[in-house]
Amino acid sequence: MRGLIDRRPRAPAAPALVASVALSLLACGCRPTLPPVEGPLVELFHYEGRPNEKPVIPGLQLETLVRFEPKLPAYRLRRLRFLLGQPGRIVFHIYRALPGGGPGPLIAEIERRYGPELVSSAEPGDLRWVVEELARVRLEGGAFFLGISAPERGADPRLWGTNADCGAVFERELDGSIGRFRHTPVVRIEIEPRPRVEPPVKGKGKARPARPAR
């Protein structure tokens, strides 16, 4: 389902659904049934205020990295939402975060061409939230990074952003290091909090939910 735009007014915490599309996962050729939503959802984002700029999206080697660190014992990813500023092909990567704080293993990739019908303006009455489903991503806890890049030379796709430095957005450098990026893309990650599950004790059967601390 692409290009279906819901123009009904929404509260800022519940953005409008634009396009629901399938996720391409690494090392998985199957199509499992999506797990049902079992509880309330939480949205993670770093930007503040209205979108006021469209920063250049770098190529794959210099991708923009947005770090998210849910303060939850466990969760599942549900959706990615973003505001498209200019059409074109964009690649989104999801990485586990390393203990040292940087991006680690790549666990999911979305590569898609987003057409002009999905482009949003910065006006509150014309915010067209583009949505990618993330329910099949195998990530159930800890911090993670969202990578954003433009793979085609000569193209100029862009996301809306703000010119505020939130401290959680970075960019890969040519030498392989990670540097601060002083712009914040308008992206949201929707997650479903889950109970933490203790690993099974040898000889004690299946894993069980963790007991709350007293």
Q: How far apart are CA 103 and CA 94, in angstroms?
A: 9
Residue 73 within a domain: yes
In a domain, 4, yes or no: no
- The verdict on residue 203 lying in a domain is no
C-alpha–C-alpha distance, residues 141 and 191, integer Å: 10
**How many Å apart are CA 82 and CA 132, to the nearest integer?**
9
Taking only the tens place, the pLDDT of each residue in 148-166 is 999 998 899 999 999 989 9
Residue 13 has pLDDT above 90, yes or no: no
CA 212, 200, 96, 191 torsion-angle sign: negative
Q: What percent of the chain is modeled with pLDDT above 70?
A: 73
pLDDT of residue 195: 81
Q: Which segment of 2-6, 69-73, 135-139, 198-202 scores lowest on mean pLDDT?
A: 2-6
pLDDT of residue 126: 85
Tell me whether residue 23 is in a domain.
Answer: no
Task: State mean pLDDT over 73-102.
Answer: 95
Q: Give the single-character DSSP code of 26.
A: T
- Residue 161 belongs to some domain of the structure: yes
More confident call, 43 vs 12: 43
Domain presence at residue 29: no
Q: 127 exposed, middle or buried (CB, 10 Å; 0-12, 13-18, 19+)?
A: buried
Q: Residue 209: what pLDDT?
A: 55
> What pLDDT is stored for residue 205 in this prediction?
54
**pTM of whole model > 0.95?**
no
Domain annotation covers residue 28 = no
pLDDT band for position 79 (cuts 50, 70, 90): very high
Decide if 27 is inside a domain: no
pLDDT of residue 125: 84
Report the pLDDT averaged over residues 163-185.
92
Q: For residue 173, what are the domain limits? A: 39-197
Q: What is the CATH number of the domain that holds 189?
A: 2.60.120
Count how many domains the chain has: 1
Predicted confidence band of residue 65 (pLDDT cuts 50, 70, 90): very high
Q: What is the pLDDT of residue 200?
A: 66
Contact at 8 Å (CB) between 32 and 136?
yes
pLDDT grade for 201, boundaries at 50, 70 and 90: low
